[in-house]
Amino acid sequence: MTGRRNPGERRRRMIEAACELIPEVGVNGLTHRLVAARAGVPLGATTYYFASLDDLVAAALARAAEVTEEGLGLWSEELERCADVPATLAALTADYLRERDRMVTWNELYAAAAHRPELRPLARLWLDGLTRSLSGYAGARAARAAAVFVDGALLYSLINDEPLDTESLERSLAALLGMDAA
């Protein structure tokens, strides 16, 4: 059923292969041949299913954004039923920062979006979504500030062997989310 003749599956495999490759070689390191080899499809398939390499890259980044949005839904649920929002958010962030491939992929998306404006809405999904999730527990400014801090922590984890510890995250997020009260 998932054999040769299966357009949807093939397309999905190539996007998945591209997603795997982005953390390894970067967005600009992607090539048709690399994706084809990883996906186990002939070179021609990559041009048959994607009008250009940019399209393939965009599809892969869109898929990565989709995965991130799913994760965001889980965060929302977790935050909703927890007692201590800053502590829970800190714990979620700490776990997240350990998934290095996701961090690298997301930063690649940021870098790509900096050069290609059409990718910016995609890049904004995470920060805007997190801000919206946090809006239930703090003012608009505080929610956005906390989201910005989480993104800063992402960047930090990229270039430091040890990401920020959970306690630092918790204290910082508590300070930011509570800043309207002060």
Residues 33-52 that bind DNA (CB under 7 A): 33-34, 41-48, 52
Side chain identity at residue 41, one-letter code: V
Q: What is the dihedral of CA 151, 153, 155, 160, to 10 degrees?
A: -170
Which of a second copy, DNA, none is residue 48 near (CB under 5 to 8 Å by kind)?
DNA
* Between 41 and 97, CB nearer to a second copy: 97
Residues 32-71 that bind a second copy (CB under 8 A): none
Q: How many CA atoms lie within 13 A of 167 on its CB side?
A: 0
Report if residue 24 touches DNA, rule: CB under 7 A: no
Q: Is the Cβ–Cβ distance between 113 and 122 less than 8 Å?
A: yes
Q: What are phi and psi of 80, to 5 degrees?
A: -65, -35
Task: State the maximum Cα–Cα separation within the chain, in Å, rounded to a whole number.
Answer: 63
Letters for 121-160 (x = contact with a second copy by CB under 8 A, - = none) are --xx--x-------------x--xx--xxxxxxxxx-xxx
Query: Whole-angstrom Cα distance, residue 82 to residue 46?
Result: 45
Q: Which stretches of the chain bind a second copy, using CB under 8 A?
A: 25-26, 28-29, 103-104, 107-108, 110-111, 113-115, 120, 123-124, 127, 141, 144-145, 148-156, 158-160, 164, 168, 171-172, 174-176, 178-179, 182
